[in-house]
């Protein structure tokens, strides 16, 4: 079976996921091609996968590049993500591919598209044979907002291989200090990620705690200047450290050096940072709005122990206090949570079943 997967090839964790998925499909005997739009044209092989890159230009040129690769490869199955979805669904339909699948990642509350964008997305989704949603929240929204057939939506989580990447010697601006409490906060610096709540909570904790507490923010984005100004206004210039965008090995070191990672997003369809952290056994306090939480067995891993209301500073402070008093949940609790919930082989089998249209065994 020929499988064409559209995603942006780079050094990020999501790209790593899709490449590993491609390799595993190839090992099953499928002929797998990856395609992306970026700053230059290229073609190479990696672990048996054909990877094509075309230069990103204006929308018509990008649509034509999508049409051209579909015409060239003549895939049996097309899997598309993000900005590739609309053209891939359109030209996959016109080329009469056997199976046209899109992978939906964005929760409605994150961008709140207007009615015209919603109608446009509905129109393209009608061309899909199936949709993979990376959370049960998205599965519900695809049905209620975009009117896609519930029986053709499959809620399947990601896995992460951050724990499997080779150890590399990395340098981060994080001094070793056993007396200090280190709070990590990774994520793109945009308003919806809600980093300001963590800064605000830190300011309150500093008033009552005698222990040194530092916040390390990993990521970049348009909200960086506002966050730095907010930290300065709170008198936390020395306590809030902006690390910038980190590589995968650097992120691994970042997680391992934190006493706790806080993930305060107001809306999060899945939350790769959540599973990255817990896969390494890093304690996490996570917003109740993370879609990945729905995959947990709540009877074994009670979300009340490690989630908080992302609109409440008091809710976050209450969850942070045990880490200052050293009465927190232990690292092995979070590692066990990952191992039991996000098993790579089970997730791969579910995805492969959707791709080859053998979905009777998938339960959502």
- Encode pLDDT of 101-116 as tens digits: 999 988 777 677 889 9
Percent of the chain clearing pLDDT 70 (strictly above): 96
Helix (H) or strand (E) holding 3: strand 2-6
> Looking at 53-62, 145-154, 320-329, 347-356, which range is the least confident one?
320-329
Average pLDDT across the chain, whole number: 93
Looking at residue 51, the DSSP 8-state letter turns out to be E
**Rounded to an integer, what distance in angstroms lies between the CA atom of residue 141 and that of residue 244?**
33
**Rounded to an integer, what distance in angstroms lies between the CA atom of residue 37 and that of residue 280?**
32
Using CA atoms, how far residue 213 sits from 67, 268, 286, 323, 324, in Å, is 53, 27, 19, 10, 8
Q: What is the mean pLDDT of residues 23-49?
A: 95
| pLDDT bucket at 149, cuts 50 / 70 / 90 | very high
Using CA atoms, how far residue 174 sits from 144, 253, 278, 314, in Å, is 45, 10, 20, 27
Say yes or no to pLDDT of 363 above 60. no
Q: What is the mean pLDDT of residues 256-264?
A: 96
pLDDT value at position 13? 86
Say yes or no to pLDDT of 58 above 60. yes
| pLDDT bucket at 11, cuts 50 / 70 / 90 | confident
**Rounded to an integer, what distance in angstroms lies between the CA atom of residue 155 and that of residue 139?**
6
Model confidence pLDDT, tens digit, residues 283-319: 999 999 999 999 999 999 999 999 999 999 999 999 9
Say yes or no to pLDDT of 162 above 60. yes
Judge contact between 128 and 92, C-beta under 8 A: no
pLDDT value at position 113? 82
Q: What is the mean pLDDT of residues 106-134?
A: 89
Q: What is the mean pLDDT of residues 61-76?
A: 97
pLDDT value at position 166? 60
Angle value at C-alpha 160, between 157 and 164, nearest 5 degrees: 155
Q: What is the mean pLDDT of residues 55-66?
A: 96
Model confidence pLDDT, tens digit, residues 267-278: 999 999 999 999
Judge contact between 137 and 269, C-beta under 8 A: yes
**Rounded to an integer, what distance in angstroms lies between the CA atom of residue 259 and that of residue 264?**
16
Coil, strand or helix at 234: coil
- Residue 302 CA, chain-centre distance (Å), reads 22
Say yes or no to pLDDT of 66 above 90. yes
**Rounded to an integer, what distance in angstroms lies between the CA atom of residue 161 and that of residue 279?**
9
Radius of gyration of the chain (CA): 21
Give CA torsion, residues 306, 236, 182, 168, to 10 deg.
120
Percent of the chain clearing pLDDT 90 (strictly above): 83
pTM score over 0.85: yes
pLDDT value at position 167? 60
pLDDT value at position 225? 97
CB atoms under 10 Å from CB of 305, counted, come to 12
Judge contact between 297 and 340, C-beta under 8 A: yes
Domains belonging to the chain, first-starting first, are 2-159+343-355 (3.40.50.2000), 164-341 (3.40.50.2000)
pLDDT value at position 362? 63
**Rounded to an integer, what distance in angstroms lies between the CA atom of residue 34 and that of residue 78?**
10
Q: What is the mean pLDDT of residues 170-177?
A: 74
Give the phi and the psi of residue 44 in degrees, each rounded to 5. -150, 170
> Looking at 118-122, 152-156, 166-170, which range is the least confident one?
166-170
Q: What is the mean pLDDT of residues 137-141?
A: 92
**Rounded to an integer, what distance in angstroms lies between the CA atom of residue 282 and that of residue 333?**
9
């Amino acid at each position: 079976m020929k499988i064409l997967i559209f995603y942006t090839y780079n050094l990020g964790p999501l790209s790593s996921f899709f490449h590993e998925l491609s390799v595993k499909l190839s090992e099953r005997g499928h002929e797998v091609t990856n395609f992306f739009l970026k700053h230059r044209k290229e073609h190479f092989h990696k672990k048996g996968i054909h990877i094509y890159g075309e230069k990103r230009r204006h929308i018509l040129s990008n649509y034509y590049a999508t049409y051209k690769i579909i015409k060239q490869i003549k895939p049996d199955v097309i899997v598309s993500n993000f900005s590739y979805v609309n053209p891939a669904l359109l030209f996959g339909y016109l080329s009469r591919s056997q199976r046209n699948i899109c992978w939906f990642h964005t929760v409605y509350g994150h961008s709140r598209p207007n009615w015209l964008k919603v109608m446009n997305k509905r129109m393209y989704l009608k061309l899909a044979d199936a949709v993979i949603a990376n959370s049960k929240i998205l599965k519900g929204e695809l049905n209620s907002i975009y009117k896609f057939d519930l029986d053709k939506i499959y809620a399947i989580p990601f896995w992460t291989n951050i724990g499997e990447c080779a150890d590399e010697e990395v340098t981060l601006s994080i001094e070793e200090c056993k007396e200090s409490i280190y709070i990590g906060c990774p994520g793109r610096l945009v308003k919806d990620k809600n980093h300001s709540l963590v800064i605000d909570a830190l300011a309150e904790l500093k008033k009552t705690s005698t222990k040194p507490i530092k916040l390390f923010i990993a990521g970049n984005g348009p909200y960086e200047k506002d966050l730095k100004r907010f930290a300065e206004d709170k008198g936390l210039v020395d306590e809030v450290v902006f690390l910038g965008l980190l590589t995968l090995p650097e992120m691994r070191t970042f997680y391992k050096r934190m006493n706790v990672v806080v993930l305060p997003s107001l809306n999060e369809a899945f939350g790769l940072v959540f599973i990255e952290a817990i896969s390494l056994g890093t304690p996490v306090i996570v917003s109740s709005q993370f879609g990945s939480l729905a995959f947990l067995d709540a009877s074994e891993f009670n979300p009340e122990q490690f989630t908080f209301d992302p609109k409440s500073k008091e809710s976050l402070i209450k969850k942070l206090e045990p880490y200052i008093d050293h009465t927190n949940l232990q690292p092995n609790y979070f590692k066990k949570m990952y191992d039991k919930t996000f098993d790579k082989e089970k997730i791969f089998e579910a995805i492969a079943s959707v791709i080859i249209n053998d979905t009777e065994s998938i339960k959502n």
